Amino acid sequence: DIQMTQSPSSLSASVGDRVTITCQASQDISNYLNWYQQKPGKAPKLLIYDASNLETGVPSRFSGSGSGTDFTFTISSLQPEDIATYYCQQYDNLPQGFGPGTKVDIK
């Protein structure tokens, strides 16, 4: 199985800060990497698919990059409504795997 790691596990930043989360796969997954946002008590929401494509309706302050084994998710200017846990997900091979998540809150 492909193992997914994320760092950091949590972070605290100020409104307007640039926030970066990294995700690493245990083997090459090409660009089959997605990012989801999950707010407490809610279902996950797709933000970025295929490493760098912004899902329709998602604000442009969210972006993703990377390929192979190393990926990056960025919030260019953190907003109060971005408080959530963010998960990366690979779908190159079954079983699909999610990263352990990064909890983002406001400093």
Chain positions contacting other proteins, by CB under 8 A: 32, 34, 36, 38, 42-46, 49-50, 55, 87, 89, 91-101
Q: Nearer Cβ to other proteins, position 43 or 60?
A: 43
Residue 15 beta carbon to other proteins: minimum distance, rounded to whole angstroms: 26
Q: Nearer Cβ to other proteins, position 34 or 63?
A: 34
Residue 51 beta carbon to other proteins: minimum distance, rounded to whole angstroms: 11
Q: Nearer Cβ to other proteins, position 19 or 86?
A: 86
Tally DSSP H helices, then E strands, for the chain.
0, 11
Residue 6 beta carbon to other proteins: minimum distance, rounded to whole angstroms: 9
